[in-house]
Structures are given as structure tokens and as C-alpha cells.
Homo-oligomer: A and B are copies of this chain.
Amino acid sequence: MIKAAVVGVGYWGPNIIRNFATNPSIRVEFCADLNQERLDYIRNIYPYIKTTTDYKDIVKNQQIDLIAICTPVYTHYEIAKAALLSGKHVLIEKPMTSKSFQAEELINIAEQKNLKIFVDHTFIFTDSVKKIKEIIDSEELGDLYYFDSVRINLGLFQHDINVLWDLAPHDISIMYYLLNKMPESVVATGSAHLGNGIEDVAYMTIFYTDNLIAHIHTNWLSPVKIRQTLIAGSKKMIVWDDNQPSEKVRIYNKGIDILQDEKDIYRTLIQYRTGDMYAPKLDGIEALTRETQNIVNSIMENRKPLVDGFAGWMVVKVLEAADQSIKNRGKEIKIEDL
């Protein structure tokens, strides 16, 4: 039985508690929050959970094996460092840290102390992403051409991070998981309309090798909610519409044929090809259930987490590049130069 604690029980923390409760191998025993009302709320539902307004009480507690950190981004580093130094595994809400060097330090500490860092990129554990991963790994798509994601809605505005830091971690982590490739550079643009200098609309292009290109549109000011990702290869193309109640993932047998022109050998003809579409059945397992099981297995069997500190660091690195590019109005920022 893994004994867990949760620091921060505002919006996301209670989900972690509820979810851990459904797995018999892990159990939340302690919670911290600066706000006593939130702690009372938790106690009301889970009378067996201890609470404190000082997260250091949790860090000092010898019984706790894992600390889940669900606080504002700028506090992740301090809390995670304290947790690791006192010998606890950590599960960190996304984005992992405010600065990539902080993520690097956490990774180093965890390595030295043989502890696990889990970063809460929940989408990696959805049945949609799992199915898309299978399809890409089977090389059914052919050469990968692009990844295009739109993640827009009205609100919820954040006060400390812009719309890219809020929404793009989902897409950056999904792309990294699916494509298994390091981004090379980033071009980003955005605009702030609310008088606080925080971008509420932002666009990011990510360049990879081999002409593979990715693009993410994030927006807090959209009248409609869109969660749509296109992934195209030379042979097949995927549309993943996460708003659909069913058939979220659709594979189109569409692609490009590049032919030699018979009349003119210096010229190629490009034809597009269309065929059937199919929507595979998804397994219907909830993302948080799968994520919890992965955490349990990683700790108990000392296995590499599906989403580890490196994945978390990579997302922060891309976000740092995006910030710098936005400030320089689209200047290309190479990831390695950061």
C-alpha cells in the first residue's frame, strides 16, 4: 500500500484524491492547503484524511511515500524539491516547473535518491491517445507530415501564466509521446487583450527534423470549445475530435501519391487518394484510472514512469522557447540554445 499526500486541494487535488481512492494499492492519508475551508471540505468527504495548512508537515511525515503537488506553477519547484530531499516520490501537476533549470535540478535529485518523478500529463493516459499511439507505431500513416492541434474555449483565465502555459502542455506532451522526437525550434505569436500583459490567444509552430511540423492554437477567448487534432502522414491521416461523445478518433485512408510524369521526366505529378474512413473502438478505460495504475506499478516494481521528469522538463523547455519567441514577435528559438 502506497501512502500518498496531496498538497493543494483547490481544483485538481480533489480529483487526485477521488481517483487514488479507486485503486486498492494507493491511499491518500494527508492533505495540505493554505485555505482552511478547502481542508474542511476534504475532511467532510474523507474523514480519515489528516490535514494541515503547512505543506512542510507532510514533507516531514515519515509515513508518506508519495506527494502529489497540485499548487500554482511557481510553487512546484520548491515543494517538489523539499519532497524529494526528504525521500518522497512526487506527482507534479503540469507544467512541471516555471523554469527548465528547476526541472533539471529535480530530475537530478530524484536520480541520486532513486525516487520517481511523475508529471501529470493526463492526456497521455486517455484511450484516444493510446489508440493513436498504436496506429503511429504500426507505421500505418506512412511518413509523418504534420501535427495540428486546436485547444480553445472561453476562460478559465490564469493569473500567473499565459494561455500557452495553461493549455499547450497537453499538446506538447501528447506530441512528444506520439512522435518520440525532440522539437528543434519554436516560433510563437500571441496577443494580450485583458490589460494584464498575459497572452490570452497564442499560436505556436514547432519544427522537427524531416519537414515534420507541428502547430498549436490556444485561446481563452473563443466563443466555442474546440479540441481537435489532425495528424497526417503520407499514407493515412487522423482526426481526433475530443469533443465528440463517440468515434473520437477517425482514421482516413487518404494521402498523396507522387508520380513521375510520363511525358516530362523532370516533372512530378501529385495526386491525392481517398478511401474509407474508420473509427476504432476505444477501450473506455478512464485516463486517471490508467495513470494511477502506472504510478502504482512504477513505484512498486521500480519501473520507469510513462510520463517522467524528462517529459515534464521537455514541455517546460518548449514553453520557454515559445515565451521568448512571442516576446520577439515570432523569432525562431532553437531549443538547444536555451
Chain A residues packing against B (C-beta within 8 Å): 143, 145-146, 148, 150, 154-155, 157, 185, 187, 189-196, 201, 203, 205, 207, 211-213, 215, 217, 219, 221-225, 230, 232, 234, 237-239, 243, 245-247, 252-254, 256, 258, 268, 270, 272, 274-281, 325, 328-332
A279 touching B278, Cβ below 8 Å: yes
Residues of B within 8 A of A203 (CB): 203, 205, 215
* Contact (A245, B225) CB under 8 Å given A145-B191, A191-B146: yes
In the complex, A279→B276 CA distance in Å? 6
* Contact (A223, B230) CB under 8 Å given A256-B194, A278-B276: yes
B224 touching A239, Cβ below 8 Å: yes
* Contact (A201, B213) CB under 8 Å given A278-B278, A325-B330: yes
B268 touching A195, Cβ below 8 Å: yes
Which residue of the partner chain, among B148, B187, B225, B331, contacts A217 with CB atoms under 8 Å?
B148
Residues of B within 8 A of A239 (CB): 223-224
Shortest Cβ distance from A143 into B: residue: B193
Residues of B within 8 A of A237 (CB): 221-223
Residues of B within 8 A of A219 (CB): 146, 148
Which residue of the partner chain, among B221, B230, B246, contacts A256 with CB atoms under 8 Å?
B221
Q: How far is the CB of A138 from chain B (nearest CB, A)?
A: 15
Q: How far is the CB of A266 from chain B (nearest CB, A)?
A: 11
In the complex, A276→B222 CA distance in Å? 15
A221 touching B189, Cβ below 8 Å: no
Residues of B within 8 A of A332 (CB): 328-331
Q: Can you offer 29 A-B residue contacts whose CB atoms are under 8 A?
A: A146-B219, A154-B274, A185-B329, A187-B187, A187-B189, A189-B205, A189-B215, A191-B213, A193-B211, A194-B256, A194-B268, A201-B213, A217-B217, A221-B237, A221-B256, A222-B237, A223-B230, A223-B237, A223-B277, A224-B252, A225-B246, A243-B245, A247-B277, A274-B281, A276-B279, A276-B281, A278-B278, A328-B332, A330-B332
Q: How far is the CB of A213 from chain B (nearest CB, A)?
A: 4
In the complex, A189→B331 CA distance in Å? 11
Residues of B within 8 A of A157 (CB): 270, 272
Residues of B within 8 A of A225 (CB): 245-246
Q: Looking at A150, A253, A256, which has the most chain B CB atoms within 10 Å of its CB?
A: A256
B221 touching A232, Cβ below 8 Å: yes
